[in-house]
Structure 1
Amino acid sequence: MKEQLWEYILSVRHNSPLVHNITNYVVMNNTANALLAVGASPVMAHAHSEVRNMVAIAGALVVNIGTLDEYWVESMLSAVDEAKTLGRPWVLDPVGAGATTYRNEVLAKLINLKPAVIRGNASEIMALANHSLVQTKGVDSIHQSTEALAAAEILTQQLGSVICISGATDIIIDQQRKVFLHNGNSMMGKVTGLGCTASALIGAFTTIEDMDYFDGTIAAMALLSVAGEIAALQSAGPGSLQINILDKLYNITAEEFFNLLKFEIKS
């Protein structure tokens, strides 16, 4: 499986897919640079007059609700509608799910449009599935990824989406399969927007021909987590880690990827 995941990484590098992001102010620069580092081409566009046209020329759409407002919500819904019409994959990042009534109302509309992939932390995934006693602390998770597994199973059965739970262990599931990734570094949680970066990278990997979204999500998460693990070894803190992750996304080798990647396939 490692060899196939590496082939997907090379495919993104060689094909430079255009990824349309309707994302938040906090992470635009970070996610654009990460997409460029892996070989993809980012565009951030949310104007009502062009979102449908932008979806039409992009390989995938990523919707991130981090800094919501009413104008952007209309842009998101229009873009997703166009993606569905054209058969383009779209990825949802439900930042802060469960934090406010407005956020939950927007997410209810978006998940009804059945994203190809949903990526969030454990608290966000649990909130999306309407688990009892769910709390979020802003956009941070107060739950471990394994605690959200039942919620992810509910979502994938209801929506048919691939569900990715980010955490110390990244969990990717669909209606039949589960993969647990055991890479990364705890310092990654101190860098703003790395979860959003993961969602953007997933968008790039959903564009690969002849590959299902489950495998693409695994490849994207494996690449980011291994790059983060390597980058942490030469970083003095979160500031240098952010830069070093970008560099490693750009120059990671097959040998580094194969030697460090740790995963489990579960039934």
Structure 2
Amino acid sequence: MNRIPAPHPIRGIAALREESRPLGLVSALVGGLALAIVLGGTASVLTEYGIQREDRIAAALQSIELFTILVFGSLLGAGATALGFGTYRRMPTRVSREEAIAGAVLGLQAALCGLALLWFIQGDMERFARNFLSFEQIVPHYEAFLNGAKNTLLLAGAGELFGVILGLVLSVFTISKRAVVRAPVRVYINLFRGTPLLLQLSLIYFGLALGLGVNMSAYTAAILAFSLNTGAYSAEVFRAGIQSIERGQMEAARGLGLGYMQSMRYVIVPQAVRRVIPPLMN
């Protein structure tokens, strides 16, 4: 007896065409349009007036064009919110319900952003532009800002890279059963986690030079301090990840003839690394 194959579920664009409903689609489009009007309209008004001079920025923020755009976008967003939340329960398909909810959420974001901007522009825009948006004073020094941004990225990247490697190695020692192995690592972790980073930078740059005669550049000292500081925090993250692995994993690895370090290297640590990626990115 021939079996009739089960129909494949409809997915992708075909599912959207099949399950979408006009009311849900309208809600999503109106909500997205409202948010685009609020954000894009604000940007277009600022661009039209010009952002090179602070008086032009203040004039743009106080213009009737921006006020009209924000009011219209907020009202449109409120309408999309009411339409989406009011109709999504009556939608017959999952896609149409998602469209209605998306429209409601986008509309709510547009309304909140519009109202916040309307409230904000009622203040002293001239003083705000003069204190925070005076690009005329920044332009002559843009090369220094770019150089500072480059150094910041390099220092942060190098410190994070070396710190994560150091933390991964130290985390293995923190779970050792031997106190003579575990204690020095705990002292290091508690010391670097319990003292300010600025103090660590000062001690490494000035203290090593004055006490031990180790002279290093400020750049090298900063990378070393960032690496040691990050290593202390990442060691605790990796330790928690390793200890979250079920004990049976280690027992199974040892049962297969692997040594302790081999079990950690091939079985425990690879699983722990996957688990600690979210907290490590913090």
Shorter-chain TM-score tier: under 0.3
Taking structure 1 as the reference length, the TM-score comes to: 0.22
Q: Give the greater-gyration-radius structure (CA).
A: 2
Structure with greater proportional helix content: 2
Q: Which has the higher contact order (CA 8 A, sep 6+)?
A: 1
Structure with greater proportional strand content: 1
